[in-house]
Amino acid sequence: MQNPSSSKEKVKSVAPKLVEIIDTTVYGDVWERPELSKRERSMITVAALIGMRQTDQLRSHLEKALSNGVTAEQIGELITHLAFYAGFPASLSAALVAKPLLQDLGLIRGDEKA
């Protein structure tokens, strides 16, 4: 499983201030605000990433969503729902990112052979 902070560590030497802002503002402030639960924030973040077709960051945020209480079934529903708002290609790409993660975690089975 990919470490959610691995992307930050990879870019820290290039953009140390960016990593600082992510740690202090995004995760240290925004994610800690009580008006939305972490589960809700995860669903919003995953939806935004799918809508913007930012699949590079999607797996780590799907992992975070699962740890914040979003179920595999809810992830599937979120991906399906977004097909109508973000487009079918965006949802199909998201499903291709989600599938190996959910399989690795034993939350879904692999495709059955005929």
And the tokens for 57? Answer: 């960051």
Give the pTM.
0.88
Torsion of CA 87, 37, 57, 24, to 10 degrees: 140
**Confidence class of residue 14 from pLDDT cuts 50, 70 and 90?**
very high
Torsion of CA 92, 97, 39, 8, to 10 degrees: -130
Q: Which sequence spans correspond to the domains of the chain? A: 38-104
Fold for 38-104, please state it: AhpD-like (1.20.1290)
* Per-residue model confidence (pLDDT) at position 76: 98
Is a pLDDT exceeding 70 seen at residue 7? yes
And the tokens for 37? Answer: 């639960």
Alpha carbons 79 and 93: distance in angstroms, whole number: 9
Helix (H) / strand (E) element for 31: namely none
Alpha carbons 100 and 48: distance in angstroms, whole number: 20
* Per-residue model confidence (pLDDT) at position 5: 55
Q: Which residue's entry shows tokens 């052979």?
A: 113
Helical pair 72-86 and 88-104, crossing angle rounded to 10 deg: 170
Alpha carbons 65 and 10: distance in angstroms, whole number: 22
Q: Which of 6-10, 26-30, 65-69 has the lowest mean pLDDT?
A: 6-10
**Average pLDDT of 16-34?**
96
* Per-residue model confidence (pLDDT) at position 63: 97
